[in-house]
Amino acid sequence: MKKIVVIDDDSAICESLKILLSSVANVEIFDCLETARKYIRKEYRNIDLLIIDYNVGEENGISFYKKEIIKNEIKLPAILISGFIVTQLKTPYELNKLDNLFLGVYEKPFDFIAFRKFVKNFLENS
């Protein structure tokens, strides 16, 4: 079975996504960025998808992804989720750059059924 890692400092979101996605993959959840970082460094070869929140602790999900995944040349596709992304990134250019970096950008609250379908389709075709 495929493996998904979810990183969100809101433990309720982590638990919700685990319940939502557990029928399509094994889901590991982290509400602490440092714990997630250690896990990913050790297990990245066994992870099929990363779902990360934009505001996660002291760092943001974009910088974490660039620093931990891209810089280390780890091939780990990711989805960015956030409750604030549209208000924090003002221009279409900034949003377009995210679309090129991530498989998708989902603003909370998002349609869980559509999100699950997107994740399931991605995992089935990867």
28-70, pLDDT tens digit by residue? 999 999 999 999 999 999 999 999 998 887 888 999 999 999 9
97-108, pLDDT tens digit by residue? 776 789 988 888
| C-beta neighbour count of 56 within 10 angstroms | 22
**CATH superfamily of domain region 3-124:** Response regulator (3.40.50.2300)
The whole-angstrom separation of Cα 88 and Cα 33 is 20
Which positions ≥6 away from 13 have C-beta within 8 Å?
A: 6, 53, 81, 108
Report pLDDT for 101: 87
Which positions ≥6 away from 8 have C-beta within 8 Å?
A: 14, 17, 29, 30, 31, 51, 52, 53, 56, 81
Report pLDDT for 93: 66
Average pLDDT, the chain: 90
